Chains A and B, each alone.
Chain A
């Protein structure tokens, strides 16, 4: 079947990448990019940090200017997909319009897990997912004296660092017993805990939120699960995301903690691909287990892979996952997936907060976490992309240097 029309649902990192890569590969057919947010497609990472602090403006966040989409003949459609007619290969839009496709790409992303406690509908309570969220939050942040952050994950802590830098008293509530427990080693958690505490952030571990109370419709107090009352003129929650699978589910596609896709990122319908935060794929870096990753890298690399397949270069998706977060003066970069790691070797200068943690599962290196050691991150990515070789014993030896080891052990 010839491919004349590709419709992409979702204009985040993954969706935009598919469109760009299709044109770079010479695809000459129609590309429609459906965006359910106003304005030009933009990058989300700065929303919880640089954009909030006013360090970068809106223009610096967009992927491409309007002229790019026009020149590349990428139809930027401001609408929302409401249904997929798989029989007729047609997407129905909320406006009533329809788009016919030869191939459909679902890059629908994820939405914030809502905060379901009494009072969560009060003014001054925010999740951060869209530019509209950040725009609404930014002026409030400037005049807030007491900020409560619910959830000590990446987004919550990025925001906590921003709020502390803006001079607010910041309390973080976290059900777990350390920061970013789902994503990083205990050693790296400890470094970030101490750094945040140094910036004035107060952690409340093993603590949830029981209720939010307000005055005149505006949040004023957070009642914790252990019965304390914390003053709050701003509450930001970052308690995880839920993949946007509704469209796929209603279309009868297989769903399993995300839109289920093959190693090549095809859904259970050969005319539909899915990628990014919304897709669960068999991950070679996670024992082929069905895995859903929430990251820029994953969305971008999967977008490239889907575009390559559609232009005649199919391959199973195998890119090494990597992540980053900027919190205050600290840049944490993670290469690989540390799921199941049980053995950690620390290198660098902990006191200076320039530290890497090599995460092993048994004898096998599976992830490298680097705080303000970007060189280690780059070497880690190279080493992890090769057959396993670096052992915990070698890494733990005095004077071990990732760069020197990488140079000496090139295949």
Chain B
């Protein structure tokens, strides 16, 4: 089980064990990490699971599809490394992945 670190905007870090094949959003919500709302439950419909992928890991995920890109376009505090965490599937080789969370979702 890869361990992922979620860092809230206030600096609080949460280390979470994820299942391979699970989305990063689900790993966070299952562990009760605050700061990811995920209101639509992963349907890529709400843009409330915005996270920043640490530079070292950005290229490890397939690029965002059009729906995700469009949704992100108007996310609050969008950066180059912004993703919707419901679309990030955790692989076996992703132990140590770090995702930072924005100050607020939507």
Task: Give the total number of A-B pairs whose CB atoms are below 8 A apart.
Answer: 67
Given A374-B70, A378-B71 in contact, is the A331-B30 Cβ separation under 8 Å?
no
CB distance from B93 to the nearest CB of A (A): 21
Stretch at the interface among A63-71, A87-95, A196-204: A63-71
Given A43-B41, A297-B39, A324-B45 in contact, is the A68-B30 Cβ separation under 8 Å?
yes
Q: Given the complex of chains A and B, what is the CA–CA distance between A300 and B106 in angstroms?
A: 15
Check B26–A296 contact: CB distance below 8 A: no
- Mask for A381-410, Cβ within 8 A of B = 1, else 0? 110000000000000000000010010000
Taking A68-B31, A378-B73, A378-B74 as given, write out 7 further A-B residue pairs in contact, using a Cβ cutoff of 8 Å, ordered by the A residue number: A71-B32, A331-B44, A374-B44, A374-B47, A374-B71, A382-B74, A403-B73
Per a CB cutoff under 8 Å, which of A43, A68, A300, A326 touches B32? A68
A-facing residues in B1-29 (Cβ within 8 Å): 22, 26, 29
Instruction: Please count how many residues in chain A sit with their CB below 8 Å of the partner chain's CB atoms.
Output: 34
Check B70–A296 contact: CB distance below 8 A: no
Q: Given the complex of chains A and B, what is the CA–CA distance between A142 and B83 in angstroms?
A: 36
Interface centre among B42, B43, B67, B106 (most CB of A within 10 A): B43
Q: Given the complex of chains A and B, what is the CA–CA distance between A138 and B73 in angstroms?
A: 37
Q: Which 9 A-B pairs have the closest CB atoms?
A: A375-B70, A324-B45, A374-B70, A43-B41, A378-B74, A374-B71, A375-B73, A300-B39, A374-B67
User: Is A379 in the interface zone, CB < 8 Å from B?
Assistant: yes
Residues of chain B with a CB closer than 8 A to A322's CB: 46
CB distance from A66 to the nearest CB of B (A): 10
Interface centre among B32, B40, B45 (most CB of A within 10 A): B45
User: Is B96 in the interface zone, CB < 8 Å from A?
Assistant: no
CB distance from A352 to the nearest CB of B (A): 12
Check A60–B26 contact: CB distance below 8 A: yes
Q: Given the complex of chains A and B, what is the CA–CA distance between A68 and B26 in angstroms?
A: 12
CB distance from A253 to the nearest CB of B (A): 28
Residues of chain A with a CB closer than 8 A to B26's CB: 60
User: Is A273 in the interface zone, CB < 8 Å from B?
Assistant: no
User: Is A285 in the interface zone, CB < 8 Å from B?
Assistant: no
**8 examples of A-B residue contacts, CB within 8 angstroms:** A61-B41, A64-B30, A68-B32, A326-B43, A331-B67, A378-B70, A378-B75, A382-B74
Chain A's closest residue to B48 (CB) is A300
Q: Given the complex of chains A and B, what is the CA–CA distance between A46 and B42 in angstroms?
A: 10
Given A60-B26, A326-B43 in contact, is the A72-B73 Cβ separation under 8 Å?
no
User: Is B63 in the interface zone, CB < 8 Å from A?
Assistant: no
Given A333-B45, A375-B74, A378-B73 in contact, is the A296-B39 Cβ separation under 8 Å?
yes
- Mask for B53-78, Cβ within 8 A of A = 1, else 0? 00000000000000100110111000
- Mask for A361-388, Cβ within 8 A of B = 1, else 0? 0000000000011110111011000000
B-facing residues in A318-359 (Cβ within 8 Å): 322, 324, 326, 331, 333
B-facing residues in A274-297 (Cβ within 8 Å): 296-297
CB distance from A69 to the nearest CB of B (A): 10
Q: Given the complex of chains A and B, what is the CA–CA distance between A378 and B78 in angstroms?
A: 13
Residues of chain B with a CB closer than 8 A to A379's CB: 74
